[in-house]
Amino acid sequence: MTYATVLRKLSEDGFRQTKARRAIIELLIVSKNPLTIAEILRKLSVEFSLAVDKTTAYREISFLLEKQIAREIDFGDKKKRYESNIGDHHHHLVCTNCGKIEDFELKQDLQEEEKRISQNKNFKVTSHSLEFFGLCASCQ
Ligand SMILES: [Zn+2]
Ligand SMILES: [Zn+2]
């Protein structure tokens, strides 16, 4: 799905497209790294000249999470980050020294494990999130 497809789908489903909503979707798609709310607010102001208050940003993000346009990532540093959920499925390599984040695709993803969980635990897996922590090339 692309930015245009997302917008078309939202309007087909009858959802409003405020400037803030469109800008946040675009930010998440374009950004190379998952963004915190503070970073989203800063980028909205600098790159889109949009003054969006925190409450609105949180509301928009929860809307995008609910629609599975965005996903939430927890790197264990008590900050929630958000990224687009409409590209390729991937994981993250997080440098615990400098904070650099890289995307990483597993050679074999976890479908087998998800199946096993469903069978053994009677738990319907709808998604998963997996991050790797360590030291990047320049921090080793
Ligand atoms: Zn590093
Ligand atoms: Zn995966």
Q: What is the 3-state secondary structure (H, E, C) of the chain?
A: CCHHHHHHHHHHCCCCCCHHHHHHHHHHHHCCCCECHHHHHHHHHHHHCCCCCHHHHHHHHHHHHHCCCEEEEECCCCCEEEEECCCCCCEEEEECCCCCEEEECCCCCCHHHHHHHHHHHCCCCCCCCCEEEECCHHHC
Q: Among all ligands shown, which has an atom nearest to the Cα of 104?
A: 2
pTM attached to this predicted model: 0.81
The pLDDT tens digits for 61-113 are 999 999 989 999 988 888 999 999 887 888 999 999 999 999 999 998 899 99
**Which ligand minimizes its atom distance to the CA of 100?**
1
Q: How far apart are CA 62 and CA 24, in angstroms?
A: 12
Q: State the distance from the centre of ligand 2 to the C-alpha of 125, rounded, in angstroms.
A: 12
Q: Ligand 1 centre and the CA of 96: distance in Å?
A: 7
**Assigned token pair, 2:** 């692309």
pLDDT of residue 1: 66
In this predicted structure, what is the pLDDT of residue 42? 96
Q: Measure 13 CA to ligand 2 centroid, in angstroms.
A: 28
pLDDT at position 81 is: 95
